[in-house]
């Protein structure tokens, strides 16, 4: 390794679908969605450093669940960027993934890891690629990767690739809970009873805890009923969030991670501690969402 150039770290935040409406299906099988999504301070981390040969290692609570071969989105992102830029500009790198988010849990962990790798390698290799170019590469890896590259409050439409930033979005106090049951996104989509649901209602003019909670009450996660039928433990996670004082509770994405909305970060921390005490084997994290402004 080149000791003159130190390793750098990039955050791979969890993606939380506050609302997710399935509004149609394309002839190629991709579902059309409308989703309000935020990203959290809690998530995975990617460390990149120049190296004599390519290397990939994983640490963290959920490392045993992560494949180390080219099926991993981290390596797919590295290889896709290298292919786009050319081998002459993309020398070997060591990539370390700290896997803090459960796998197959509805919070875009793999997609966020891939997005962090694209951002990190574009800087490490000094490629001068703008966000549009990276998003194009990201979309080839998965529909969630472009929004994970944005990593700010947004509304996603289409297959998740048509993104509209939401300005003046304050940080939210959130508790994330996963009962330890992986859920297949494909299985959940295949189990939907209908795919032509109403789109999202207009967002409130001013977004704060109270206006957002009221807005969420008239929205849905259209994937939740199907996921709940497959994994009843999701219902227990939602129940524990409600018992801990959540202002609003819902499943994120295709599950099984659920979120609770809390008025302050301190209230969220107390709620997380209460749930963790009762369910020590579950994934439980108190966090705050990233705002619409760069931190």
Q: Are 262 and 173 in contact (CB under 8 A)?
A: yes
Which H or E run contains 121? helix 109-124
Active site residue 269: no
Q: Which entry of 44, 144, 161, 222 is annotated as an active-site residue?
A: 144
Residues in Cβ contact with 256 at an 8 Å cutoff, skipping those fewer than 6 apart: 105, 106, 178, 179, 181, 182, 183, 227, 231, 233, 234, 237
| From 15, 76, 96, 99, active-site residue | 15
208 included as an active-site residue: no
Closest Cα to residue 228, out of 243, 244, 250? 250
Q: How far apart (Å, rounded) are the C-alpha atoms in residues 171 and 290?
A: 6
Residues 251 and 224 sit within 8 Å (Cβ to Cβ):
yes
Helix, strand, coil shares, percent, the chain, to 5: 35, 25, 40
**Nearest CA to 140 among 80, 184, 78, 82?**
80
Q: What angle do CA 19, 194, 144 make, to 5 degrees?
A: 45
Instruction: Report the alpha-carbon distance of residue 232 to residue 256 in Å, rounded.
Output: 10
By annotation, the residues acting in catalysis are: 15, 144
């Amino acid at each position: 390794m080149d000791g003159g150039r130190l390793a750098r770290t990039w955050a791979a935040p969890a993606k939380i679908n506050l609302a997710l409406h399935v509004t149609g299906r394309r002839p190629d099988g991709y579902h059309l969605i409308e989703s309000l999504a935020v990203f959290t301070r809690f998530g995975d981390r990617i460390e990149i450093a120049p190296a004599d040969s390519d290397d990939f290692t994983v640490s963290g609570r959920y490392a045993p669940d992560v494949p180390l071969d080219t099926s991993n989105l981290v390596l797919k992102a590295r290889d896709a960027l290298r292919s786009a830029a050319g081998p002459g500009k993309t020398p070997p790198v060591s990539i370390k993934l700290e896997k803090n988010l459960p796998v197959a849990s509805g919070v875009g962990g793999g997609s966020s890891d891939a997005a962090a790798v694209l951002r990190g390698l574009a800087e490490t290799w000094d490629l001068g690629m703008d966000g549009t170019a990276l998003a194009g590469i990201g979309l080839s890896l998965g529909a969630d990767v472009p929004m994970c590259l944005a990593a700010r409050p947004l509304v996603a439409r289409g297959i998740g690739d048509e993104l509209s930033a939401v300005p003046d979005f304050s940080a939210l106090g959130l508790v994330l809970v996963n009962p330890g049951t992986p859920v297949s996104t494909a299985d959940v989509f295949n189990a939907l009873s209908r795919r032509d649901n109403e789109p999202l209602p207009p967002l409130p003019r001013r977004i704060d805890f109270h206006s957002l909670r009221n807005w969420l009450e008239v929205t849905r996660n259209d994937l939740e009923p199907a996921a709940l039928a497959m994994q009843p433990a999701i219902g227990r996670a939602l129940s524990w969030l409600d018992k801990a004082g959540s202002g609003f509770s819902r499943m994120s994405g295709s599950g099984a991670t659920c979120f609770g909305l809390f008025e302050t970060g301190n209230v969220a921390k107390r709620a997380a501690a209460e749930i963790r005490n009762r369910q020590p084997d579950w994934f439980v994290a108190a966090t705050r969402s990233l705002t619409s402004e760069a931190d």
